[in-house]
Amino acid sequence: MRPAPTFLASLDDAVDVLLARVPGPLHVGAPLGLGKPHRLLNALYHEIAADPARPLHLYTALSLDPPDPGDGLQARFLAPFVRRHFGEDFPRLAYVEDLRRDRLPPHVEVEEFYLQSGALLGSAAAQRRYTSLNYTHVARALAERGLNVIVQKVAREPGEAAPTRLSLSCNTDVTLDALDAVAARGGPRPLLVAEVDPALPWLGGSAAVPSEFFDLVVTPPGPYPPLFGLPRQPVGDADYAIGFHASTLVRDGGTLQIGIGALADALSHALVLRHTDNAAYRRILRALGSPRADDPALAPFAAGLYGCSEMVNEGFRRLVQVGVVRRKVVDDLALMRRLADGSADADDRTRLAREGEYLHGAFYLGSPEFYAWLRELPDDERRAIGMRRVSAINDLDGRDEPLKRLQRRDARFFNTCMMATALGAATSDALDGGRVVSGVGGQYNFVAMAHALPDARSVLMLRATRDSGGRTTSNVVWSYGHTTIPRHLRDVYVSEYGVADLRGRADEDCAVAMTAIADARFQAGLVAAAQANAKLRRSFEAPARWAENTPAALRERLAPHRAAGALPDYPLGSDFTPVEQRLAKALAWLKAHADHKLQIAVRAMTGAATEDGEALQRMQLDRPQGAQEWLLSRLLGLALRMTA
């Protein structure tokens, strides 16, 4: 029996106690994402930064930081939104600002295994101390580094004045595994420090721990800043096409893992539409030329899906709400076997309904609406969501492997990548020179698990092209200098132009399948490279239908469904006001045409003024002062007209 924790109400007192109990260098672990206790970490960092005698090594990932508004039109749009969405008093992580500017004190080191996407490409310190790890290997690495402190944000049990239990809530992922890894190496138990956040949703089950699990529990006084909310992004035509093609791979009664971002949102919406308006869903598939548009297997979900995803996010909220995610599992091998072979009786099914869980995750992150949904769930629905260790979600290894195999039937593991080669390798986390964009996270885990389960598939989704510096380049390439997923683990790729099933196929077949889902402008180059490298016969001729792989053709196919309301800009809800949604589209149009600045400026200055006075007012350009603001107002007006 562990002793009761020390309860504190002051962050400074918590730091003093921490420093007193852990002499010498600090090796501090903090959860990724939402579970990072910003205020406690800031108090610790400010204390340590001024004391070179106390080295600090911080091990973490995904240090969330609100976006920098920038300048020009972007700043006029983002600055008010950031203040409203994140709050005027949001505690930005002090070490992140110093890390970004390469000004960490010499005795402070920050090591991350996953970075906020693209945020630290310019930080030499972040790039040097990035650690490339599978998510399931993080606990082992922490133990090897001599972890002596873990700090974590927690939720208090509702209605409890003096908490007897606390919830790891948003981050059950690494803490428990790390403690086991330290113990396995014979090391002393790290000091565990909890910061209670009243806004953090309570989740029980395996996320709940007795309060004495922690050594220190600090509940700082209010006001409490809002939880970090990920702004939901608009879903474009290419995103929707990818999502709908991907949705055809999901089997009723199966298992679902999805990532984050517009592609995941599009996939979630497609699955929702498949269930709630199957006729509209099939019409969109026909418009996209999907060969499965009339497949009877793509009917509304009768059995439903079981969600087993390292991240629980906005898409899962919607899938639960409409009844797509509802297939329950229990941690009872014998019962799962009876369910699988059809011998389960009425008592078994009653127990499944009462005790079963339909959604398992290692961490969660989403919008303010998502957090409100978790907080307001009825108790019986909340009990059906189980937060687990990352080793339980992302892997099959262990004594419970037979149970996991029964639970994860017909699994479809959806993730995104930046680029893919014509022979099936994927680039998801870094550039060819080694500079890290984000991190591998759990992607390799799910790809490997898909090959380990007999009826599972790994599906990597990617946009066929990207625009940068005024140039459009292909994301389907012949080769690239960095690989996240090797080609021998190739499985399924999905672009806006279709599905490429590469599992077990020869190199020539892979080259053809990947070129078939590439943008038409880059197909000839891929064919030529394949032929030059003896991977494609010289007599090969591209089918005529490949020429239809263009953004213009895709836009034309989806336009009627956009107009009918089946493909909304924000399928899972928006954090922007209606006027901000119009502005976001206009600013995106200007960014897409940035390589034609002179022509755009001439059109803006000579064209008619916009009638969208509300948008100009939101951007403080309704009464422009001086030539610069006048030009900005005209540029914005042109973009608003072009995207109306």
CATH number of the domain bearing residue 351: 3.30.750.70
| pLDDT of 454 higher than 80 | yes
The rounded distance, in Å, linking the Cα atoms of 218 and 151 is 11
- Residue 573 is assigned to a structural domain of this protein: no
For 74-112, how does the pLDDT look when each residue is reduced to its tens digit (9 = 90+)?
999 999 999 999 998 899 999 999 999 999 999 999 999
- Residue 439 is assigned to a structural domain of this protein: no
| Contacts with 148 (C-beta within 8 Å, 6 or more apart), sequence order | 22, 26, 27, 28, 188, 190, 191
Measured N-to-C along each axis, helices 72-86 and 626-642 cross at an angle, to the nearest 10 degrees, of 80
Same domain, 166 and 234: no
pLDDT score for 468:
83
> For 204, left (φ over 0), alpha (ψ -120 to 50), or beta?
beta
| pLDDT of 237 higher than 90 | yes
| pLDDT of 596 higher than 80 | no
Joined together, the tokens standing for residue 523 give 């197909």
What average pLDDT does range 411-427 have in this prediction?
98
The rounded distance, in Å, linking the Cα atoms of 628 and 614 is 20
Beginning with the edge strand found earlier in the chain, give each strand of the sheet holding 457-461 in spatial order: 385-387, 359-364, 306-312, 255-257, 411-416, 457-461, 492-495, 498-501
What average pLDDT does range 524-534 have in this prediction?
98
* Secondary structure (3-state) at 208: strand
| Contacts with 333 (C-beta within 8 Å, 6 or more apart), sequence order | 400, 402, 403, 406
Same domain, 519 and 585: no
Residue pair 156/195 in contact (Cβ under 8 Å)? The answer is: no
The rounded distance, in Å, linking the Cα atoms of 130 and 115 is 8
160 vs 133, more confident: 133
Domain endpoint, select from 218, 243, 274: 218
For 578-590, how does the pLDDT look when each residue is reduced to its tens digit (9 = 90+)?
999 999 999 998 8
| b/e burial code for range 390-427 (CB count within 10 A of at least 16 → b) | bbbbbbbeeeeeebbbebbbbbbbbbbbbbbbbbbbbb
Tell me how far CA of residue 12 lies from CA of 17, 45, 149, 218, in angstroms.
9, 11, 16, 10
The rounded distance, in Å, linking the Cα atoms of 245 and 288 is 8
pLDDT score for 267:
98
> For 111, left (φ over 0), alpha (ψ -120 to 50), or beta?
beta
For residue 398, give the DSSP letter: S
Residue 611: pLDDT band (50, 70, 90) is confident
360 phi/psi in degrees, rounded to 5: -120, 140
| CB half-sphere exposure, 358, CA atoms < 13 A | 21
Same domain, 233 and 213: no
Percent of the chain with pLDDT over 90: 91
Same domain, 407 and 424: no
Structural domain total, the chain = 4
Residue pair 359/318 in contact (Cβ under 8 Å)? The answer is: no
Bridge pairing between strands 457-461 and 255-257: unpaired
For 180-217, how does the pLDDT look when each residue is reduced to its tens digit (9 = 90+)?
999 999 999 999 999 999 999 999 999 999 999 999 99
pLDDT, averaged across the chain: 95
Same domain, 127 and 11: yes
Same domain, 535 and 557: yes
The rounded distance, in Å, linking the Cα atoms of 382 and 160 is 18
CB count in 10 Å sphere of residue 250: 24
The rounded distance, in Å, linking the Cα atoms of 624 and 633 is 7
| pLDDT of 372 higher than 80 | yes
Candidates 603, 562, 586; CA nearest to 644 is 586
- Residue 340 is assigned to a structural domain of this protein: yes
State the DSSP string of 354-379. Answer: HH-BSEEEEEE---HHHHHHHHHS-H
Domain endpoint, select from 564, 591, 616: 564
Handedness of CA 287, 289, 295, 301 (dihedral sign): negative
Joined together, the tokens standing for residue 380 give 């019986």
Candidates 222, 199, 221, 194; CA nearest to 6 is 194
pLDDT score for 604:
84
pLDDT score for 245:
98
| pLDDT of 382 higher than 80 | yes
Q: What angle do CA 459, 465, 471 make, to 5 degrees?
A: 160
Same domain, 384 and 521: no
Domain range for 424 is: 418-430+470-564
Same domain, 409 and 522: no
Same domain, 166 and 308: no
| pLDDT of 437 higher than 90 | yes
The rounded distance, in Å, linking the Cα atoms of 300 and 495 is 24
- Residue 247 is assigned to a structural domain of this protein: yes
Helices (H), 200-332: 237-247, 262-276, 278-287, 314-321
Same domain, 172 and 317: no
pLDDT score for 1:
74
| pLDDT of 595 higher than 80 | no
- Note the pTM of the prediction, 2 decimals: 0.96
Residue 352: pLDDT band (50, 70, 90) is very high
Say which CATH number the domain at 184 has.
3.40.1080.10
What average pLDDT does range 134-146 have in this prediction?
97
Q: Which of 187-201, 270-284, 584-598 has the least mean pLDDT?
A: 584-598
Bridge pairing between strands 6-8 and 216-218: parallel
* Secondary structure (3-state) at 420: strand
Residue in the structure block whose two tokens are 């030529």? 528
Same domain, 158 and 288: no
Tell me how far CA of residue 294 lies from CA of 91, 282, 290, 297, 493, in angstroms.
52, 7, 9, 9, 21
Joined together, the tokens standing for residue 261 give 């971002």
- Residue 223 is assigned to a structural domain of this protein: no
Same domain, 549 and 587: no
The rounded distance, in Å, linking the Cα atoms of 215 and 544 is 68
Residue pair 352/339 in contact (Cβ under 8 Å)? The answer is: yes
Helices (H), 288-416: 314-321, 333-341, 346-355, 368-376, 379-382, 390-393, 401-407
- Residue 212 is assigned to a structural domain of this protein: yes
Tell me how far CA of residue 140 lies from CA of 36, 143, 144, 184, 399, in angstroms.
20, 5, 6, 10, 18
- Residue 465 is assigned to a structural domain of this protein: no
- Residue 533 is assigned to a structural domain of this protein: yes
Domain endpoint, select from 354, 383, 416: 416
Compute CA 422 distance to the chain's CA centroid, rounded to the nearest angstrom: 25
Residue in the structure block whose two tokens are 């490409």? 121
For 545-583, how does the pLDDT look when each residue is reduced to its tens digit (9 = 90+)?
999 999 999 999 999 999 999 999 999 999 999 999 999
